[in-house]
Structure 1
């Protein structure tokens, strides 16, 4: 009975004007039955242009945005893969709507070349009792499964960071080799250098020096992009110029000596015991 019709929260009749005719005989009895269709639009989730639009009563505003100052690092994409602008994604959602019923953004967010997704953070806004909103920290993730929100507003912020440089495997240097400290040499020590854009700059961290003494060493290499810096340590081994016979078997079978053993030649010092003794250093 339309006289007792109650609106369905989150659904809106497409039109509120419809002519309904009843056909009766002279005794007032209905002579035919007709079917009347009432069409509703699903308005549980309203997509907004930005956070400045007015939020309807009984709705929670969800804002998904990139952290301030990081728009050049990446962006947010909706569930269809469409990249959002600087205002991010803004939705007004009827109270009680579950997370799985919402058009959540893609996770992880889309990082630009040279950067990578770091984390989500969130802030929940509640009525402060004076007509305004006060915020408190929420979960460091997107809403999940049956999670819902009854507060007026929640903001999810994605954070990016400069991609971490990955050092090559331990570099082995012959005694006559040296490690150049120019920018190109620094780039050659980074395994994922091709994951950065052309304007990324690779270099050795200030104060780093090449140590040419035999043994295992490390040196710091950094990459800079758009004012951001990330660094890593690269291991390098300088081979000895002399290996004693007692150590040769171990050296020649090691992962660093096996490919360089051919570059060494044996040198044997002999003498007559009755004339003197050979003493090593």
Structure 2
């Protein structure tokens, strides 16, 4: 962008979760933003880090986390995500300070966009007074399925007998219990702890859903209706061919 003869740069910091199904949508979003004039810095965990050569116009900064493949095998993925957030939270302000020292006089961090499972980013953004946006890499319907778990737990229906898997979920027809992202018996509390942190968007400026209107029209309408009910201004904006949509708080 040109402003009074000088190019005013805007930098977006992306924080993807270190799983391929989360990294790809985040980098696709980065490409969309880059094509619209934003500079992109990707702050990522060292574990399963993205390949910088695939996006030569982006800057990449690793967050040391000392994780290995052995960390997440044997059903330890929940512990991995929780521990990853704790480790990265301690180093994230240092990484942002590194980004800021490299900025020119006309450059600034416009916002931080983080995966909902990298929730440590939101608190740091708030402390530094930088706007933050959440990227939900799953569908809008998945968000309501997650929400249903909280409702079921509050009503004492979690965990439930295996013979109820085919039963319809109250108020969520046509979903059945088997259609929900159900946690294995024995780790319900840990799953709910993780989902609670990943679903806390109170200080976020917006939510981006990796979805497309023609596939999830009813779910997106429900999102908008819920926002109206909570008196939250909402707008859905098409985000290019990836089918992403923007829900502004």
Which of the two has higher C-alpha Rg?
1
Give the TM-score normalised by structure 1.
0.23
Larger RCO: 1 or 2 (CA < 8 Å, sep 6+): 2
TM, length-normalised to structure 2: 0.25
